[in-house]
Structure 1
Amino acid sequence: MYNIRYGLNYLRHRLGANNRHGIHSPFVYKLIDTVIYDYHDQKVYREIKEIAQKKHSDRRVINTLPLKFYRLLYRFTVYFNPQTILLADTEDYITEFVIKQANPEVQSISLAAHGIRPADMILADALKQGPANYLTEIMSSVHDDTVIIFTNIHRNVSAKKSWEQLKLNQQVRVTIDLYFIGLVFFKPGMSKEDFRVRY
């Protein structure tokens, strides 16, 4: 699943990225300290792994993503407690399983309905939805506290280029690059910053 170039780029990312001690934004520091770097084991992690073992030949990877992404997605959903989530890929049953385990009351919004209701969290694959263009498409569903999670932002040149273009959008206040995913925040009043975080 992981080619050599992708692996080498990941090593370069780790060398140039910060941990929580290199972050001066209180919002981002807290997110890293209490969510991203929370390594406590939870029952749902074992359930996710069992699903992966049944459905995927490479037990470390689901749909090109490492298993740790789904553990992290569970923690993000608990932390942000979204009431509505826009899923760009409605066939990703593992993502839906993780979200429902974290918040059984959450309501998923189809892509067709995104212009009608705001979304607290939006998930999209940068390989399928270029981040810059997709952001323009779904801005009507974004509010001040929306978080967008793009997966595979460094998977190929096109996805990476689109991620870089997204960061130039003036409505985007903060981005966090964890290499295999990128987070986007719109909170007014925050300094416009882009973080690369070691994970």
Structure 2
Amino acid sequence: MYNIRYGLNYLRHRFLANNRHGIHSPFVYKLIDTVIYDYRGQKVYRDIKKIAQKQHSDKGVINTLPLKFYHLLYRFCVYLKPQTILLADAEDYITEFVIKQSNPEVQSVSSTTSGIRQVDMILADALKQRPVSYLEKIIPSIHDDSVIIFTNIYRNASTRQSWEQLKLNQQVRVTIDLFYIGLVFFKPGMSKEDFRVRY
């Protein structure tokens, strides 16, 4: 039932989601066009696959996420150029590898908020960090250009509900739902909007 429900949620997402042509926000359109829909090959993708083949029995999935998520994470890091990155959960070697490949000079990759005042990018697993409550916890470390990337937002009813509740927070200006992950932006001055994007 778990897999069936997850599959049905995916089909529903595909039906409701837009591609870049259904997006009217210039910021979101550029992000989709430049980053999300950039399907050009990269050498680092081959390296990620090699690591996955050594550590995971299912070569197309790493820690419940499709391999393409790690490709996308690389592109996000190249595009957004975060200097301080917070890993909300235990460090994952592949995630750290992707981050370092995208920006060898990244100043901090940490799994703890202690001593961190300003964070450019946060990665959190919705199965381990309930999105709405984690947002409240991390808000003091957020600045205008921060982005939170939640993985597994559709894994079960609890993660879906918490993701929907997070979108109601008035400090959240834009969310982008890619099904496997959800992106949260705080840029002031932007219209408060929530996007479902086909990926």
TM-score, normalising length: structure 2: 0.96
Q: Secondary structure at the match of 2:119?
A: coil
2:50 alignment counterpart: 50
Shift of 1:117: 2.0
Shift of 1:55: 0.6
Equivalences, count: 197
Structure 2 CA distance for aligned equivalents of residues 60 and 3 of structure 1:
17
Structure 2 CA distance for aligned equivalents of residues 125 and 161 of structure 1:
14
Identify unmatched segments of 5+ residues in structure 2.
Answer: none
Q: Cα deviations across residues 143-199 of structure 1 (Å, max 9, x unaligned)?
A: 000000000000111111000000000000000000010000000000000000000
1:30 alignment counterpart: 30
1:14 alignment counterpart: 14
Which stretches of structure 1, 4 residues or longer, exceed 4 Å deviation after superposition?
A: none
Matches within 5 A, 1:46-195: 46-106=46-106, 107-113=108-114, 116-195=116-195
2:3 alignment counterpart: 3
In 1, are the aligned partners of 2:130 and 2:159 still within 8 Å (CA)? yes
Structure 2 CA distance for aligned equivalents of residues 112 and 163 of structure 1:
21
Shift of 1:89: 1.7
In 1, are the aligned partners of 2:91 and 2:111 still within 8 Å (CA)? no
Q: Cα deviations across residues 30-72 of structure 1 (Å, max 9, x unaligned)?
A: 0000000000000000111111111111111000000000000
Report sequence identity in percent: 80
Structure 2 CA distance for aligned equivalents of residues 4 and 67 of structure 1:
21
Amino acid across the alignment from 1:126: A
Shift of 1:4: 2.3
Deviates more, 1:6-15 or 1:117-126: 6-15
RMSD (CA atoms): 1.1
Shift of 1:76: 0.1
Structure 2 CA distance for aligned equivalents of residues 130 and 85 of structure 1:
19
In 1, are the aligned partners of 2:177 and 2:195 still within 8 Å (CA)? yes
In 1, are the aligned partners of 2:173 and 2:186 still within 8 Å (CA)? yes
In 1, are the aligned partners of 2:123 and 2:149 still within 8 Å (CA)? yes
Structure 2 CA distance for aligned equivalents of residues 8 and 157 of structure 1:
13
Deviates more, 1:46-55 or 1:169-178: 46-55
TM-score, normalising length: structure 1: 0.96
Amino acid across the alignment from 1:140: P
